[in-house]
Structure 1
Amino acid sequence: MESFSTYDEVASSDLPSTVLTKVISRAGKSKNYTDLIPLDGGTVGIAHFATGGLSELYKQMDTQEYFGRSQEDMISHYSAKCRPSGKKGNDTGWGCYSQAWWHEGMARFLASPESEKAQYRAWLNLMQPAIKAALAHNWTDRRSLAIAMGIANSLGSAGLNSLATKHNWHAEQVLTAYVGTDAHRARRRDALNAAFGPK
Protein backbone atom coordinates (compact mmCIF):
# COMPACT_ATOMS: atom_id res chain seq x y z
CA MET A 1 0.00 0.00 0.00
CA GLU A 2 1.35 3.41 -1.00
CA SER A 3 2.26 5.54 1.98
CA PHE A 4 3.21 9.22 2.26
CA SER A 5 5.29 10.98 4.88
CA THR A 6 5.41 14.62 3.71
CA TYR A 7 3.10 17.16 2.14
CA ASP A 8 5.42 17.49 -0.86
CA GLU A 9 5.13 13.76 -1.56
CA VAL A 10 1.35 14.04 -1.55
CA ALA A 11 1.34 17.24 -3.64
CA SER A 12 3.58 15.77 -6.33
CA SER A 13 1.55 12.55 -6.59
CA ASP A 14 -1.68 11.96 -8.51
CA LEU A 15 -3.62 11.65 -5.24
CA PRO A 16 -4.92 15.25 -4.94
CA SER A 17 -6.08 15.41 -8.56
CA THR A 18 -7.76 12.00 -8.19
CA VAL A 19 -9.60 13.23 -5.08
CA LEU A 20 -10.63 16.44 -6.84
CA THR A 21 -11.93 14.78 -10.01
CA LYS A 22 -13.32 11.50 -8.66
CA VAL A 23 -14.50 12.42 -5.15
CA ILE A 24 -15.20 16.18 -5.03
CA SER A 25 -16.43 16.54 -8.62
CA ARG A 26 -17.70 12.94 -8.86
CA ALA A 27 -16.44 12.88 -12.48
CA GLY A 28 -18.49 15.95 -13.36
CA LYS A 29 -21.74 14.74 -11.76
CA SER A 30 -21.41 17.15 -8.84
CA LYS A 31 -19.04 19.93 -9.85
CA ASN A 32 -17.23 21.10 -13.00
CA TYR A 33 -14.34 23.43 -13.85
CA THR A 34 -16.81 25.80 -15.56
CA ASP A 35 -19.39 26.05 -12.74
CA LEU A 36 -20.52 29.61 -11.96
CA ILE A 37 -23.49 29.70 -9.59
CA PRO A 38 -25.09 32.25 -7.19
CA LEU A 39 -24.64 30.12 -4.06
CA ASP A 40 -23.03 32.12 -1.20
CA GLY A 41 -22.87 35.22 -3.40
CA GLY A 42 -20.72 33.56 -6.05
CA THR A 43 -19.42 30.00 -6.20
CA VAL A 44 -17.12 28.90 -8.99
CA GLY A 45 -15.15 26.03 -10.48
CA ILE A 46 -14.55 22.38 -9.75
CA ALA A 47 -13.97 22.89 -6.01
CA HIS A 48 -16.89 25.33 -5.74
CA PHE A 49 -14.63 28.13 -4.53
CA ALA A 50 -16.77 30.56 -2.54
CA THR A 51 -16.24 33.18 0.17
CA GLY A 52 -13.54 31.15 1.91
CA GLY A 53 -11.65 30.06 -1.21
CA LEU A 54 -11.96 32.84 -3.77
CA SER A 55 -8.91 34.71 -2.44
CA GLU A 56 -6.72 31.67 -3.12
CA LEU A 57 -8.16 31.42 -6.63
CA TYR A 58 -7.46 35.11 -7.30
CA LYS A 59 -3.80 34.51 -6.37
CA GLN A 60 -3.57 31.98 -9.22
CA MET A 61 -4.99 34.21 -11.96
CA ASP A 62 -4.34 37.52 -13.70
CA THR A 63 -7.15 39.46 -12.04
CA GLN A 64 -6.24 42.59 -14.00
CA GLU A 65 -6.94 40.74 -17.25
CA TYR A 66 -10.29 39.31 -16.19
CA PHE A 67 -11.66 41.94 -13.82
CA GLY A 68 -9.59 45.07 -14.45
CA ARG A 69 -8.59 45.06 -10.78
CA SER A 70 -5.49 44.08 -8.80
CA GLN A 71 -5.20 40.82 -6.88
CA GLU A 72 -5.04 42.84 -3.65
CA ASP A 73 -8.31 44.61 -4.48
CA MET A 74 -10.05 41.36 -5.44
CA ILE A 75 -8.83 39.54 -2.31
CA SER A 76 -9.77 42.44 0.00
CA HIS A 77 -13.22 43.19 -1.41
CA TYR A 78 -14.47 40.25 -3.47
CA SER A 79 -13.75 37.04 -1.57
CA ALA A 80 -14.93 36.88 2.05
CA LYS A 81 -17.19 39.88 1.34
CA CYS A 82 -18.92 38.17 -1.61
CA ARG A 83 -21.63 36.65 0.56
CA PRO A 84 -24.85 38.64 0.12
CA SER A 85 -26.14 40.53 3.13
CA GLY A 86 -29.81 40.51 2.19
CA LYS A 87 -32.40 37.95 1.23
CA LYS A 88 -33.27 37.05 -2.35
CA GLY A 89 -35.33 39.80 -3.91
CA ASN A 90 -33.94 42.54 -1.66
CA ASP A 91 -32.13 45.42 -3.32
CA THR A 92 -28.91 44.42 -1.55
CA GLY A 93 -28.35 42.02 -4.46
CA TRP A 94 -26.77 38.60 -4.54
CA GLY A 95 -23.18 39.38 -3.64
CA CYS A 96 -20.42 39.17 -6.26
CA TYR A 97 -22.49 36.99 -8.57
CA SER A 98 -25.03 39.78 -9.12
CA GLN A 99 -22.35 42.24 -10.29
CA ALA A 100 -22.01 42.02 -14.08
CA TRP A 101 -18.29 42.87 -14.18
CA TRP A 102 -17.48 40.08 -11.68
CA HIS A 103 -19.78 37.55 -13.31
CA GLU A 104 -18.50 38.25 -16.83
CA GLY A 105 -14.85 38.31 -15.73
CA MET A 106 -15.20 35.05 -13.85
CA ALA A 107 -16.96 33.42 -16.82
CA ARG A 108 -14.06 34.47 -19.09
CA PHE A 109 -11.54 33.07 -16.63
CA LEU A 110 -13.40 29.75 -16.26
CA ALA A 111 -13.45 29.36 -20.06
CA SER A 112 -9.74 30.24 -20.42
CA PRO A 113 -6.97 27.72 -21.19
CA GLU A 114 -5.20 28.35 -17.86
CA SER A 115 -8.33 27.93 -15.74
CA GLU A 116 -8.06 24.23 -14.88
CA LYS A 117 -4.43 24.40 -13.75
CA ALA A 118 -5.07 27.59 -11.77
CA GLN A 119 -8.07 26.02 -10.04
CA TYR A 120 -6.06 22.92 -9.19
CA ARG A 121 -3.18 24.97 -7.70
CA ALA A 122 -5.63 27.04 -5.64
CA TRP A 123 -7.43 23.95 -4.37
CA LEU A 124 -4.20 22.20 -3.45
CA ASN A 125 -3.06 25.28 -1.51
CA LEU A 126 -6.37 25.27 0.37
CA MET A 127 -5.92 21.56 1.15
CA GLN A 128 -2.33 21.94 2.42
CA PRO A 129 -3.22 22.47 6.13
CA ALA A 130 -5.59 19.49 6.08
CA ILE A 131 -3.03 17.23 4.40
CA LYS A 132 -0.33 18.27 6.88
CA ALA A 133 -2.65 17.71 9.86
CA ALA A 134 -3.67 14.29 8.53
CA LEU A 135 -0.03 13.23 8.03
CA ALA A 136 0.81 14.45 11.55
CA HIS A 137 -1.88 12.08 12.86
CA ASN A 138 -0.55 9.11 10.90
CA TRP A 139 -3.08 9.27 8.07
CA THR A 140 -0.44 8.25 5.56
CA ASP A 141 -2.25 5.98 3.08
CA ARG A 142 -4.18 7.15 0.01
CA ARG A 143 -7.64 6.45 1.46
CA SER A 144 -7.06 8.29 4.75
CA LEU A 145 -5.64 11.31 2.95
CA ALA A 146 -8.57 11.23 0.51
CA ILE A 147 -10.92 11.29 3.51
CA ALA A 148 -9.05 14.32 4.89
CA MET A 149 -9.30 16.23 1.60
CA GLY A 150 -12.91 15.24 1.02
CA ILE A 151 -13.97 16.52 4.42
CA ALA A 152 -11.73 19.63 4.33
CA ASN A 153 -13.21 20.61 0.96
CA SER A 154 -16.58 20.72 2.70
CA LEU A 155 -15.79 21.91 6.24
CA GLY A 156 -12.42 23.61 5.78
CA SER A 157 -9.23 22.50 7.49
CA ALA A 158 -10.44 23.80 10.86
CA GLY A 159 -13.65 21.80 10.49
CA LEU A 160 -11.68 18.67 9.68
CA ASN A 161 -9.45 19.21 12.73
CA SER A 162 -12.42 19.70 15.02
CA LEU A 163 -14.29 16.63 13.76
CA ALA A 164 -11.20 14.42 13.70
CA THR A 165 -10.20 15.47 17.23
CA LYS A 166 -13.66 14.42 18.50
CA HIS A 167 -13.09 10.98 16.99
CA ASN A 168 -9.43 10.57 18.05
CA TRP A 169 -8.23 10.93 14.47
CA HIS A 170 -9.62 7.52 13.50
CA ALA A 171 -10.14 8.05 9.77
CA GLU A 172 -13.11 5.74 9.24
CA GLN A 173 -14.95 7.02 12.32
CA VAL A 174 -14.34 10.59 11.19
CA LEU A 175 -15.77 9.78 7.75
CA THR A 176 -18.85 8.14 9.28
CA ALA A 177 -19.40 11.13 11.58
CA TYR A 178 -18.98 13.54 8.66
CA VAL A 179 -21.57 11.73 6.54
CA GLY A 180 -24.19 11.25 9.26
CA THR A 181 -27.58 11.19 7.51
CA ASP A 182 -26.71 13.81 4.87
CA ALA A 183 -27.44 12.57 1.32
CA HIS A 184 -24.86 14.83 -0.36
CA ARG A 185 -22.14 13.66 2.03
CA ALA A 186 -23.21 10.04 1.49
CA ARG A 187 -22.64 10.52 -2.25
CA ARG A 188 -19.17 11.89 -1.49
CA ARG A 189 -18.42 8.84 0.69
CA ASP A 190 -19.67 6.52 -2.06
CA ALA A 191 -17.44 8.29 -4.61
CA LEU A 192 -14.51 7.96 -2.21
CA ASN A 193 -15.22 4.24 -1.78
CA ALA A 194 -15.40 3.79 -5.55
CA ALA A 195 -12.07 5.57 -6.06
CA PHE A 196 -10.14 4.30 -3.05
CA GLY A 197 -11.92 1.12 -2.00
CA PRO A 198 -14.11 0.68 1.06
CA LYS A 199 -12.29 -0.16 4.30
Structure 2
Amino acid sequence: MYDWYGRLRMISMRIGLVTSVLLAQGGLSVDAASETFSSYAEFAGSSVPQEILWKVLARNGKSKTYTQVFALDGGTVGIANFAVGGLASLYRLMDTEKYFGRSREDMVRNYSSSCRPGKHRGNDTGWGCYAQKWWRDGMIRFVHSPESHGIQNQAWLEQMRPTIELALEHGWRDSRGLAIATGVANSVGSTGFKSLALRYGWRPEQVLSGYVGNDAHRKRRRDAIDAAFPH
Protein backbone atom coordinates (compact mmCIF):
# COMPACT_ATOMS: atom_id res chain seq x y z
CA MET A 1 0.00 0.00 0.00
CA TYR A 2 1.37 3.42 -0.97
CA ASP A 3 2.38 5.48 2.04
CA TRP A 4 0.66 8.82 1.25
CA TYR A 5 1.22 10.13 4.75
CA GLY A 6 4.94 9.44 4.60
CA ARG A 7 5.18 11.03 1.15
CA LEU A 8 3.36 14.21 2.27
CA ARG A 9 5.51 14.42 5.38
CA MET A 10 8.67 14.22 3.28
CA ILE A 11 7.42 16.98 0.93
CA SER A 12 6.55 19.17 3.91
CA MET A 13 10.00 18.70 5.41
CA ARG A 14 11.65 19.61 2.09
CA ILE A 15 9.54 22.78 1.76
CA GLY A 16 10.47 23.75 5.30
CA LEU A 17 14.14 23.20 4.58
CA VAL A 18 14.03 25.30 1.39
CA THR A 19 12.18 28.08 3.23
CA SER A 20 14.74 28.10 6.02
CA VAL A 21 17.61 28.32 3.54
CA LEU A 22 15.97 31.18 1.63
CA LEU A 23 15.33 33.10 4.84
CA ALA A 24 18.91 32.62 5.97
CA GLN A 25 20.22 33.81 2.60
CA GLY A 26 17.86 36.77 2.38
CA GLY A 27 16.03 35.31 -0.59
CA LEU A 28 12.67 35.28 1.12
CA SER A 29 11.20 37.82 3.46
CA VAL A 30 8.47 37.61 6.04
CA ASP A 31 5.80 40.28 5.59
CA ALA A 32 6.34 42.30 8.75
CA ALA A 33 3.25 44.35 7.98
CA SER A 34 1.07 41.26 8.46
CA GLU A 35 1.33 41.54 12.25
CA THR A 36 -1.71 43.38 13.59
CA PHE A 37 -2.67 44.86 16.96
CA SER A 38 -5.93 45.67 18.70
CA SER A 39 -4.58 47.83 21.54
CA TYR A 40 -1.66 49.94 22.67
CA ALA A 41 -0.78 47.33 25.31
CA GLU A 42 -0.62 44.59 22.69
CA PHE A 43 1.59 46.72 20.47
CA ALA A 44 3.84 47.79 23.36
CA GLY A 45 4.30 44.17 24.40
CA SER A 46 5.56 43.12 20.98
CA SER A 47 8.99 43.50 19.39
CA VAL A 48 7.66 45.93 16.76
CA PRO A 49 8.29 49.19 18.69
CA GLN A 50 11.98 48.33 19.06
CA GLU A 51 12.14 47.41 15.36
CA ILE A 52 10.64 50.78 14.44
CA LEU A 53 13.01 52.61 16.76
CA TRP A 54 16.14 50.86 15.52
CA LYS A 55 15.37 50.07 11.87
CA VAL A 56 13.31 53.13 10.94
CA LEU A 57 14.25 56.06 13.18
CA ALA A 58 17.88 55.11 13.74
CA ARG A 59 18.26 53.39 10.36
CA ASN A 60 20.21 50.58 11.99
CA GLY A 61 22.52 53.01 13.73
CA LYS A 62 23.30 55.11 10.64
CA SER A 63 21.46 58.22 11.86
CA LYS A 64 21.13 57.70 15.63
CA THR A 65 22.65 55.57 18.38
CA TYR A 66 21.79 54.73 21.97
CA THR A 67 25.02 56.27 23.25
CA GLN A 68 25.00 59.67 21.57
CA VAL A 69 25.06 62.84 23.68
CA PHE A 70 25.54 66.11 21.80
CA ALA A 71 25.00 69.85 22.07
CA LEU A 72 22.00 70.39 19.76
CA ASP A 73 19.12 72.30 21.39
CA GLY A 74 20.92 72.51 24.71
CA GLY A 75 21.47 68.76 24.99
CA THR A 76 20.24 65.91 22.80
CA VAL A 77 20.49 62.31 23.88
CA GLY A 78 20.12 58.74 22.70
CA ILE A 79 18.35 56.68 20.07
CA ALA A 80 15.28 58.91 19.81
CA ASN A 81 17.13 62.23 20.00
CA PHE A 82 15.57 63.06 23.36
CA ALA A 83 15.83 66.83 23.77
CA VAL A 84 14.17 69.75 25.53
CA GLY A 85 10.80 68.46 26.84
CA GLY A 86 11.61 64.92 25.75
CA LEU A 87 14.36 64.68 28.34
CA ALA A 88 11.70 64.55 31.05
CA SER A 89 10.53 61.16 29.79
CA LEU A 90 14.04 59.82 30.43
CA TYR A 91 14.38 61.42 33.85
CA ARG A 92 11.12 59.83 35.01
CA LEU A 93 12.53 56.37 34.32
CA MET A 94 16.15 56.96 35.33
CA ASP A 95 17.85 56.84 38.70
CA THR A 96 18.69 60.53 38.50
CA GLU A 97 20.34 60.51 41.93
CA LYS A 98 22.80 57.93 40.62
CA TYR A 99 23.77 59.87 37.51
CA PHE A 100 23.26 63.50 38.50
CA GLY A 101 22.97 63.57 42.28
CA ARG A 102 19.57 65.25 41.93
CA SER A 103 15.97 64.14 42.35
CA ARG A 104 13.68 63.27 39.43
CA GLU A 105 11.46 66.22 40.31
CA ASP A 106 14.42 68.60 40.16
CA MET A 107 15.63 67.22 36.83
CA VAL A 108 12.18 67.28 35.21
CA ARG A 109 11.43 70.79 36.46
CA ASN A 110 14.78 72.46 35.82
CA TYR A 111 16.70 70.45 33.21
CA SER A 112 14.23 69.49 30.52
CA SER A 113 12.40 72.26 28.65
CA SER A 114 14.67 74.82 30.27
CA CYS A 115 17.69 73.26 28.55
CA ARG A 116 16.80 75.49 25.59
CA PRO A 117 15.78 78.81 27.14
CA GLY A 118 14.15 81.63 25.23
CA LYS A 119 14.74 81.67 21.50
CA HIS A 120 17.98 79.71 21.54
CA ARG A 121 18.43 77.17 18.75
CA GLY A 122 21.26 75.04 17.44
CA ASN A 123 24.26 73.89 19.42
CA ASP A 124 24.61 74.84 23.06
CA THR A 125 27.26 77.54 23.40
CA GLY A 126 26.85 78.03 27.12
CA TRP A 127 23.12 78.59 27.53
CA GLY A 128 21.86 74.99 27.85
CA CYS A 129 22.27 71.75 29.79
CA TYR A 130 25.00 70.31 27.61
CA ALA A 131 27.38 73.13 28.53
CA GLN A 132 27.12 72.13 32.20
CA LYS A 133 29.77 69.51 32.89
CA TRP A 134 27.85 67.69 35.63
CA TRP A 135 24.86 67.21 33.30
CA ARG A 136 26.96 66.15 30.34
CA ASP A 137 29.08 63.69 32.34
CA GLY A 138 26.03 62.21 34.05
CA MET A 139 24.20 61.71 30.78
CA ILE A 140 27.23 60.08 29.17
CA ARG A 141 27.42 57.64 32.08
CA PHE A 142 23.74 56.89 31.71
CA VAL A 143 23.73 56.18 27.96
CA HIS A 144 26.60 53.73 28.43
CA SER A 145 24.94 51.96 31.35
CA PRO A 146 23.38 48.44 31.12
CA GLU A 147 19.88 49.76 31.78
CA SER A 148 20.04 52.56 29.21
CA HIS A 149 18.65 50.68 26.20
CA GLY A 150 15.53 49.50 28.01
CA ILE A 151 14.86 52.91 29.53
CA GLN A 152 15.27 54.69 26.20
CA ASN A 153 12.96 52.20 24.47
CA GLN A 154 10.31 52.63 27.15
CA ALA A 155 10.60 56.42 27.21
CA TRP A 156 10.18 56.65 23.45
CA LEU A 157 7.20 54.30 23.50
CA GLU A 158 5.50 56.42 26.17
CA GLN A 159 6.11 59.54 24.09
CA MET A 160 4.51 57.84 21.10
CA ARG A 161 1.51 56.51 23.05
CA PRO A 162 -0.96 59.27 22.04
CA THR A 163 -0.03 58.81 18.38
CA ILE A 164 -0.27 55.01 18.55
CA GLU A 165 -3.66 55.12 20.27
CA LEU A 166 -4.95 57.67 17.76
CA ALA A 167 -3.76 55.57 14.82
CA LEU A 168 -5.36 52.43 16.28
CA GLU A 169 -8.65 54.30 16.71
CA HIS A 170 -8.63 55.04 12.98
CA GLY A 171 -7.91 51.47 11.94
CA TRP A 172 -4.13 51.60 11.54
CA ARG A 173 -3.58 48.18 13.08
CA ASP A 174 -0.69 46.59 11.19
CA SER A 175 3.01 47.03 11.80
CA ARG A 176 3.58 49.12 8.70
CA GLY A 177 0.76 51.53 9.50
CA LEU A 178 2.04 52.04 13.03
CA ALA A 179 5.59 52.45 11.72
CA ILE A 180 4.30 55.21 9.45
CA ALA A 181 2.39 56.85 12.30
CA THR A 182 5.30 56.86 14.74
CA GLY A 183 7.86 57.66 12.05
CA VAL A 184 5.90 60.76 11.07
CA ALA A 185 5.09 61.76 14.66
CA ASN A 186 8.71 61.40 15.72
CA SER A 187 9.51 64.05 13.12
CA VAL A 188 6.59 66.49 13.29
CA GLY A 189 5.04 65.64 16.66
CA SER A 190 1.70 64.09 17.53
CA THR A 191 -0.16 67.23 16.47
CA GLY A 192 1.66 67.33 13.15
CA PHE A 193 0.84 63.68 12.52
CA LYS A 194 -2.84 64.25 13.30
CA SER A 195 -2.95 67.23 10.95
CA LEU A 196 -1.45 65.20 8.09
CA ALA A 197 -3.73 62.25 8.82
CA LEU A 198 -6.81 64.49 8.67
CA ARG A 199 -5.60 66.09 5.44
CA TYR A 200 -5.17 62.71 3.76
CA GLY A 201 -8.28 61.05 5.13
CA TRP A 202 -6.45 58.76 7.56
CA ARG A 203 -4.96 56.74 4.69
CA PRO A 204 -1.50 55.58 5.82
CA GLU A 205 0.24 55.47 2.45
CA GLN A 206 -1.06 58.89 1.44
CA VAL A 207 -0.03 60.30 4.81
CA LEU A 208 3.47 58.93 4.33
CA SER A 209 3.69 60.36 0.82
CA GLY A 210 2.41 63.75 1.96
CA TYR A 211 4.87 63.80 4.83
CA VAL A 212 7.86 62.94 2.63
CA GLY A 213 7.35 65.37 -0.25
CA ASN A 214 10.75 66.24 -1.74
CA ASP A 215 12.65 66.28 1.55
CA ALA A 216 15.81 64.13 1.40
CA HIS A 217 15.79 63.24 5.10
CA ARG A 218 12.14 62.21 4.93
CA LYS A 219 12.80 60.12 1.84
CA ARG A 220 15.39 58.17 3.83
CA ARG A 221 12.81 57.59 6.55
CA ARG A 222 10.28 56.36 3.97
CA ASP A 223 12.90 54.02 2.51
CA ALA A 224 13.66 52.69 5.99
CA ILE A 225 9.97 52.02 6.58
CA ASP A 226 9.71 50.24 3.22
CA ALA A 227 12.75 48.09 4.04
CA ALA A 228 11.66 47.12 7.54
CA PHE A 229 7.90 46.93 6.97
CA PRO A 230 7.27 46.26 3.28
CA HIS A 231 3.90 46.62 1.56
TM class by shorter chain equals over 0.9
Does residue 59 of the first structure (1) align with residue 127 of the second (2)? no
Native 8 Å contact 1:66 1:108 kept in 2:
yes
Give deviations 1:78-136, integer Å, cap 9, x for gaps: 1111115447799x724111111110110010111111111011011111111000000
SS of aligned partner of 1:22: helix
For normalisation by structure 2, the TM-score amounts to 0.81
1:163 is aligned to 196
Match of 1:75 among 97, 108, 111: 108
* RMSD of equivalent CA atoms: 1.7
Structure 2: 5+ residue runs without aligned partners? 1-33
Aligned length: 197
Which of 14, 19, 22 in structure 1 is aligned with 2:55? 22
SS in 2 for 1:61: coil
- Counterpart of 1:47? 80
Cα distance change of structure 1 residues 149 and 88 upon mapping to structure 2, 3 Å threshold: closer
Distance 2:62 2:202 in 1: 30
- Confirm or deny: 8 A CA contact 1:84 1:93 kept in the other structure: no
> 8 Å contact 2:208–2:222 — kept in the other structure?
yes
Over 6 Å off, 4+ runs? 87-90
Is 1:137 the counterpart of 2:173? The answer is: no
Choose which of 100, 105, 115 in structure 1 pairs with 2:148: 115
> Which residue type is aligned with residue 208 of structure 2?
L
Cα distance in 2 between the residues matched to 1:154 and 1:143? 17
User: Scaled by the length of structure 1, what TM-score is found?
Assistant: 0.94
Aligned to 2:130: 97
Distance change >3 Å, CA 65–CA 130, structure 1 → 2? same
Work out the CA distance in 1 between the residues paired with 2:113 and 2:212.
Answer: 26
Q: Contact 2:74/2:123 (CA < 8 Å) preserved in 1?
A: no
CA distance in 2, matches of 1:94, 1:187: 32
Asked if the contact 2:73/2:122 (under 8 Å) is kept, the reply is: no
Structure of larger gyration radius: 2
- Partner in structure 1 of residue 180 of structure 2: 147
- % identical aligned pairs: 58
Q: How far did residue 52 of structure 1 move?
A: 2.7
Cα displacement (A) at 1:171? 0.6
- Over residues 21-76 of structure 1, what are the superposed CA-to-partner deviations in whole Å (9 max), with x where a residue is unaligned? 10011000000000111111111000000113110010110011111111111111
Distance of aligned partners of 1:101 and 1:164 in 2 relative to their CA distance in 1, 3 Å threshold: same
Report the 3-state secondary structure (helix = DSSP H, G, I; strand = E; otherwise coil) of the residue aligned with 1:55. helix
